[in-house]
Structure 1
Amino acid sequence: MTFQDRLEQQMKATSIKGIDIVNKLNVSKGTVSQWRNGVTKPGGENAIRLAKFLRCNLTWLIEGKGSPNKNLELELGPDLRGKAPLISWVQAGKWKEIDVNMIREDVGITYYQHTANVSDDSFALRVKGDSMTSNTGGKSIPEGSVIIVDPNLSAEHGKVIVARLEDSNEATLKQLVIDGGSKYLKPFNNSYPTMPINGNCTIIGVVKQVIQDF
């Protein structure tokens, strides 16, 4: 059953017409028409208000999961801002040199939806190793996490960045420390050394979000 099928089913069950949705949600007739024809789906607050008005489960209405009348408690989740291609650490190291459009046109590429306020040039990476896993209870980016990286942001002191050292073809993930004009790449795990950088490092981008599964 598609979204529009579920929408029509619940509208019929509650005797709610399209114009009722227009008036209740304060949206245009064109918007409701697109929902009913399956052109678009409501998102964010509109999705929640629609599910409440139709007296049904939000997850069932939008995603088809569960049943119409279970778990009717609804909360406003974060608005998705975009999606970023998941690339390799080698690709990240060459990000300023490669044709980004070729990656986007790759039908096999995986995309991660995110809520970060980043540019369209952003990309995703899956964290390898434990150098950014804190062993002192501080900030931590565990292995297996997915990070959203924006190459158009300025790298400032304290920011977590993706960078490539000149003697490596892979990028690395570290915190940028600027102290008295000197720059360092610092891991969150103090079992690893802090590395001074002085013209031997290319900063690829700044990490804006960490996506972690439990």
Structure 2
Amino acid sequence: MDKWIELVKAKMSELKITQTELGERVGMSQGGIGHWLNKRREPGITQMNRVLQALGMDFLEVVLVIREPQVTPDDDMPLAQKYNPYFRYPVSDWRTPCEVRENGQPVYVSLTDKQVFQLTDYHARGAAFWLTVAGDSMTAPRGPSIAEGMLILVDPEAEAVPGKLVIARWADSEEAIFRKLDEEGGQRYLVPLNPTWPKALFTDDCRIIGVVVQATARY
């Protein structure tokens, strides 16, 4: 977010464009632009992209906001896996955000006929997969914030301890949710980063599907 603000302000200065003029280009008020540039509110990925386009700027490359420690390669690891700097994982869907086991092998479920994959240098402990963030429940007014449209990498084998961001699903729910796992007074909760959303009690009928080990955005 800081990098985006820095680039937008620099380009506005270069083009001698005011906040009012920029607002007119993207179809919003000067006050709205000011809230973003002064970090009083955080724009979503689509809104960030509209501002960059209005200023004639190219899209920025991937921004990492979460990064779990890597698994240290050992001597028994195959050379191709040990020295390959990139790994690819499938993009899954919120209704089926995990693999289905068939004859002991992972088979990923996709709503499309063609499975989509994304590359990363993160070496997952388990059969990891990507999800696209939907909604603003994890968009925070300050601190770590995961906006709608970002891609999150989920590792089913990473340890889900309090303080981690996790993907969870209740037995009676069709879709999984993205929350922070917290603990208070010996009881665990699933807490959104957006304070306008309610937290939920983590019960026995709720299953942690995996830990979010990386989040990226293209804007």
TM-score calculated relative to the size of structure 1 = 0.57
For residue 205 of structure 2, the aligned residue among 196, 200, 210 is 200
1:212 aligns with 2:217: yes
Name the structure 1 match of 2:118.
Answer: 112
Rounded to whole Å, the distance in 2 between the matches of 1:172 and 1:98 is 22
Structure 2 counterpart SS, 1:156: coil
1:176 aligns with 2:178: no
1:90 aligns with 2:119: no
Once the 2 structures are TM-superposed, how far is the Cα of residue 178 of structure 1 from its aligned partner?
1.6
Change (3 A) 1:83 1:157: same
Once the 2 structures are TM-superposed, how far is the Cα of residue 96 of structure 1 from its aligned partner?
6.2
For residue 187 of structure 1, the aligned residue among 187, 192, 195 is 192
Q: Tell me the amino acid that sits aligned with residue 160 of structure 2.
A: A
1:121 aligns with 2:127: yes
Rounded to whole Å, the distance in 2 between the matches of 1:191 and 1:180 is 23
Name the structure 1 match of 2:170.
Answer: 165
Once the 2 structures are TM-superposed, how far is the Cα of residue 120 of structure 1 from its aligned partner?
4.8
Higher strand share: 2
Aligned length: 133
Rounded to whole Å, the distance in 1 between the matches of 2:113 and 2:85 is 22
Work out which of the two has the higher radius of gyration on C-alpha atoms and give 1 or 2. 1
Once the 2 structures are TM-superposed, how far is the Cα of residue 80 of structure 1 from its aligned partner?
4.0
Task: Give the conservation status (yes or no) of the 8 Å contact 1:175–1:185.
Answer: yes
1:20-39 per-position Cα deviation (integer Å, ceiling 9, x unaligned): xxxxxxxxxxxxxxxxxxxx
Name the structure 2 match of 1:155.
Answer: 160
Structure 1 counterpart SS, 2:115: coil
Rounded to whole Å, the distance in 1 between the matches of 2:122 and 2:158 is 13
Q: Tell me the amino acid that sits aligned with residue 201 of structure 2.
A: P
Name the structure 1 match of 2:86.
Answer: 81
Over the aligned positions, Cα root-mean-square deviation in angstroms equals 2.3
Change (3 A) 1:107 1:96: closer
Rounded to whole Å, the distance in 2 between the matches of 1:166 and 1:103 is 20
- Percent pairwise identity: 32
Change (3 A) 1:166 1:103: closer
| Structure 2: gaps spanning 5 or more residues | 1-83
Rounded to whole Å, the distance in 1 between the matches of 2:188 and 2:87 is 32
| Structure 1: gaps spanning 5 or more residues | 1-78
Larger relative CO (CA 8 A, sep 6+): 1 or 2? Answer: 2
Task: Give the conservation status (yes or no) of the 8 Å contact 1:96–1:204.
Answer: no
Structure 2 counterpart SS, 1:83: strand
